[in-house]
Amino acid sequence: MNTVLLAVILIPIVEIYLFIKIGSQIGAFSTIFLVFFTAVVGVYYARYEGINTLRSGMIQIIKNQIPAHELISGAAIAFAAVLLIIPGFATDLVGFLLIIPITRNLILGKFNKKFENKENKEMEKSNFIEGEFEDIEDDNDRKI
């Protein structure tokens, strides 16, 4: 069975189950408030982390380095913001795990290592400058 199809079926089932269980413990209005509260706080924090990642990426570009980690982090933050907007407790948990920098680095560590290895190989290859030259005689008028 396709993984995406399985996720589309299982995620709403898990969310409905959690709504029923948490709603029966804390009440319907508290559950609704908690869902809206996590969405607002999550999106605000996603914006904050996104700006920090953008700033870090610009610093990498200024240093003439490839911002691979920042690109991956930015995509993870955007995905986390979408998860936080979707109502539910399981998606909110995954969204918060992706937004917090420590857990994001743990989750995305394998991707970062792949890009860092490629980046190091590319940097080793680019230690020379290609160009053409022409010897100019001393008595030539084109000499600057």
- DSSP letter string over 71-87? HHHHHHHHHHHHHHHSS
Give me the number of domains the chain comprises: 1
**Helix (H), strand (E) at residue 131:** none
Q: Residue 65's CB: how many other CB atoms inside 10 A?
A: 14
Asked whether residue 135 is assigned to any structural domain, the reply reads: no
If one counts every other C-beta atom within 10 angstroms of the C-beta of residue 63, the result is 8
State the Cα–Cα distance between residues 83 and 73, nearest whole angstrom: 15
pTM over 0.85: no
Q: Is the pLDDT of residue 67 over 80?
A: yes
* Percent of residues, the chain, with pLDDT higher than 70: 80
Rounded to a whole number of angstroms, the distance between the first and last alpha carbons of the chain is 71
Q: What pLDDT, in 10s, does the model give residues 27-65?
A: 989 999 999 999 899 889 989 999 999 999 999 999 988
Specify the pLDDT at position 125.
59
Residue 111 sits in which domain range? 13-123
Residue 4 lies in a domain: no
115 vs 22, more confident? 22
